[in-house]
A and B are shown apart, each in its own frame.
Chain A
Amino acid sequence: MSYIWKEWLELSRGKAFWLFFLLVVAASLSVLMSAKSLPAEHGLTIFLQMLFDMNAYIVPLLCLFFASFSVMQEKEQRTMVMIVVKSGPPWMFLWKKSAAIQLITMTVLVIWYFVLIIPAKFLFVFHLSYFLSFLLATMVLVFIFNQIGIWLGFACKTKIQLIGANLFAAFFFIYLYDFALLSVLPSVTYDNVHVFSFVYFLQPLHALRFYLETSLGMFSLDYLSRTMKKFFSFSPGVLVALNIAVWGMGALAASMLWSRKGEER
């Protein structure tokens, strides 16, 4: 608990966190303003989907930078050594650090979205299940990119290296991954579409958008061709779990390996 408090004090004293958070607030409010003229019956669905689309570009960057710089700061200020000596092996530090970062970023964002939903509740017909689906999708996004950020924080030696790695990670998920998929698209047939679907949805932004849009009843899976039907045969929930396992837990495992390497040195 004291570690979480320490982490919170560090984050809340920095201007950058609040600046980034202000960006999320401003962007969310602009989405609300643009959605307010929608019919009350369907407004919430569309508002949440637009909000997630906006989050998909801002939240990964925010999480990558804060998580990675939080680890880097510990390394640079030598506080990491002190904590490791005090509390046990490096993986224990990693575990505490991950828990603190996840808890703080998730709590701040959840509080904000609960505040944001109050005016939305007056504008649109409210469906709790839709809002919870949105929160879940956003929190999974936060979890995955926080974990990747922590791993990058462990892996990089200098701040410049870390900025480069963060930008590359964001670029990889937003541009590069899809670009690679586009280049193999002509060779995708009915026989191998399952493999293509698996790889396509291994991109967390695709899987989470698919999960949210199907949960909100926005994305129709009716009247699909045979190939498309096979492509969309994975359940959205399974795809989200797969992404948590591969990217979130994968990054955690990679961070552990890295921290052990540090221990051996």
Chain B
Amino acid sequence: MKRWLLISLFIFFFFDVPKEAAAGQTLQQLIDAAPAHGTIRLTGQTYIGDIVIDKPLTIIGTKGTVIQGSGRGNVISIKAPHVTITHVTVTNSGKSRSTQEEYAGIKVYSDYNTLEHITVKQSFHGIYLSQAHHNRIANVRVIGEQNGEIAGQGNGLHIYYSNFNELEHNTIIGTRDGIFFDYANHNVAKGNEVSHTRYGLHYMYSDDNAFHDNTFMLNNGGAAIMNSNRIVLKNNRFFFNKGMRSFGLLLQMANDNRIIGNTFYQNERGLYIDQSNDNFLQRNVFLQNEIGIELWSSSQRQTFTENRIWKNTIAVARLGGGDRNRWDFRGVGNDWGGEAALLDLNQDGKGDSPFRYASSFHKLAEENELAYLFLSSPSLGVYEAINEWRQTDEVMAVDHAPLVKKTISASWWWGLLGFGAIAVIVPKRRIRR
């Protein structure tokens, strides 16, 4: 009998016995009653917050599970490590700006927590990590106010003094910044989708982070790296970030970053570099942006190699002074598409002479910011052509080893197709005769 009792106690404490949320009990009472490392399964109903989790615990919701806050604080506060929350919708955090604390749907103060398959709505910040490390936030959807007053809304994910966190496959719409890193290092943002925000991703004083395979669309700015160094950006997509001050990626006082394999498509500015040095850009695609790369003279020693800079209204706009950047690296330059009419007689895939990209747009932009209004106008092309003819344009970039693509041009394909058609039709007619 004693042995059975001991076995039962062992099972109760060490093996997870899922606890169904009973009617009449508040969620906080359920949490308080649950053992450490226990599991609470929530049904598809609305539970009233705010709640505080101060022991390792797993909370699993289902379709229709909503945790609704009081509107006066954080809906869920996680103060213990090893907490897992999945499949819930969190709403109605405090939104007051006159308190010392910034409220969130879920505020995490501890390490090694997992938040997955969660929707956060009607909250100031979505999820806020405060000095919290080694957490995982995945498949979270944060819906902001969208087009409300910018100071009146918080960030989708706010990472404050928090390191070594993983943020994966989250969707953020209509918040202030999508993901904001403030004094946060060694974090990884992967596969996130951010739209209709101020900056999709915003780094401030945050070093040694990595972000890859993210998509930033229809934001005021895709990603802004400010006062942050040694960040690796790989295979991200910056699309349709339009507006007079918009950009795909901004580097401001950001040094030694590696920007590799990203796509910048149809942005007002693909890449905007200001007061930043020693950044390395390789194998990126700048396609159909109003300005492919906007470089301010305060920025030096960027290296551009193997990038494809195609069909932008202005490929490179260098403002405020001379060019102190490298447009080729170890004998490999960039692919300038139709901008460069280059000969490659020795067929080594590189132009036989250096390519100088020249433009006169920078003069207009330096004189008056309203010049940006005309970037989508065909008349700007005429203006550029006239200045080229008058030789009043200026060299923006010199690529000593421009790449020449070894492809058969479209006219050749049509020629081959025509030849093929004739080859098929003519013998048939002969046979009929």
Contacts and interface: CB of A to CB of B under 8 A. Distances in A.
B198 to A, nearest CB: 7
A224 B373 CA distance: 13
Contacts of A175: 378-379, 382
A174 B378 contact: yes
B337 interface: no
Interface stretch (B212-220, B304-312, B318-326, B395-403): B212-220
B13 interface: no
A232 B374 CA distance: 14
B197 to A, nearest CB: 10
Interface in B21-60: none
A16 B367 CA distance: 46
A263 interface: no
Contacts of B368: 185-186, 188
B62 interface: no
A221 B268 CA distance: 13
Given A220-B246, A221-B243, A224-B244, A39 B369 contact: no
Interface stretch (A41-49, A89-97, A116-124): A41-49
Contacts of A220: 219-220, 242-246
Contacts of B383: 179, 182
Interface in A58-116: none
B150 interface: yes
A264 interface: no
A224 B198 CA distance: 12
A228 B380 contact: no
B193 interface: yes
A143 to B, nearest CB: 22
B411 to A, nearest CB: 19
Given A42-B218, A186-B367, A219-B243, A181 B195 contact: no
Interface string A173-212: 0111111011001101000010010001000000001000
B203 interface: no
B240 interface: yes
A209 to B, nearest CB: 8
Contacts of B220: 220, 222-223
A185 B378 contact: no
A224 B245 contact: yes
B202 interface: no
A72 B266 CA distance: 42
A45 B218 contact: yes
Contacts of B377: 178
Contact of A181 (B218, B219, B246, B374): B374
A179 B364 contact: no
A38 B266 CA distance: 13
B371 interface: yes
**A interface SS class:** helix
Contacts of A225: 369
A55 interface: no
Contacts of A219: 242-243
B237 to A, nearest CB: 10
* Residue in A42, A46, A225 whose Cβ sees the most chain B Cβ within 10 Å: A42
Interface residues of B, number: 36
B367 A217 contact: no
Nearest to B219: A220
B370 interface: yes
A26 interface: no
A215 interface: no
A227 interface: yes
B217 A39 contact: yes
A145 interface: no
A50 to B, nearest CB: 9
A134 interface: no
B96 interface: no
B95 interface: no
Contacts of A217: 146-147, 196, 218
A131 interface: no
Contact of B240 (A46, A182, A185): A46
A182 B196 contact: no
Nearest to B146: A217
B369 A213 contact: no
A182 B243 contact: no
Interface string B352-381: 000000000000100111110110111110
Contacts of A41: 173, 195
A231 B244 CA distance: 11
A176 B379 CA distance: 7
B369 A227 contact: yes
Contacts of B219: 220
A45 B246 CA distance: 17
B371 to A, nearest CB: 6
A217 B246 CA distance: 14
A49 to B, nearest CB: 8
Contacts of A213: 242
Given A42-B217, A222-B220, A227-B370, A179 B242 contact: no
B20 to A, nearest CB: 35
Interface of A: 38-39, 41-42, 45-46, 174-179, 181-182, 185-186, 188, 193, 196, 200, 209, 213, 217-225, 227-228, 231
Given A46-B266, A178-B374, 5 more contacts: A42-B195, A42-B217, A196-B370, A218-B218, A231-B373
Q: Which 5 A-B pairs have the closest CB atoms?
A: A220-B243, A178-B379, A178-B377, A179-B379, A220-B220
9 contacts: A42-B195, A42-B240, A179-B382, A182-B383, A185-B367, A185-B370, A218-B218, A220-B245, A223-B245
